[in-house]
Structure 1
């Protein structure tokens, strides 16, 4: 199991995958917006998205879990 975590504080601008979707290493899971920059957060390994723990528009802090991949 892999916890995908926010690398910095920001707002969830876009969620690019859905639960049940198969993802590859480095594939974008969520795009954060911080200080007018878009920051993609990707999968660390191949797997299947089990859960998305945020919604578009949510604010996250660095280290918050945004998705679970198995």
Structure 2
């Protein structure tokens, strides 16, 4: 199981996958917006998205869990 965490504080601009979807390492999971920049957060391993822990427009802090991949 891998927790996908925010690398910096920002708003969730887009969720690129949904629960149950198969993803590959390096695939974008969530795109954050911070300081008018888009920051893609990618899967760190191949697997299936078990849970998305955020909603679009949520504000997250560095280290917050965005998704769980099994």
Global fold match (TM > 0.5): yes
TM-score category (smaller protein): over 0.9
Q: TM-score, normalised by structure 1?
A: 1.00
The residue aligned with 2:31 is: 31
The residue aligned with 2:59 is: 59
Q: Deviations over 1:24-51 (max 9, x none)?
A: 0010000000000000000000000000
Runs (5+) with no aligned partner, structure 2: none
| Paired residues, number | 70
Q: For 1:3, what is the secondary structure of its paired residue?
A: strand
What CA RMSD, in Å, does the superposition of the two structures yield over aligned residues? 0.2
- Measured in 2, the distance between the counterparts of 1:34 and 1:18 equals 22
- Measured in 2, the distance between the counterparts of 1:28 and 1:62 equals 17
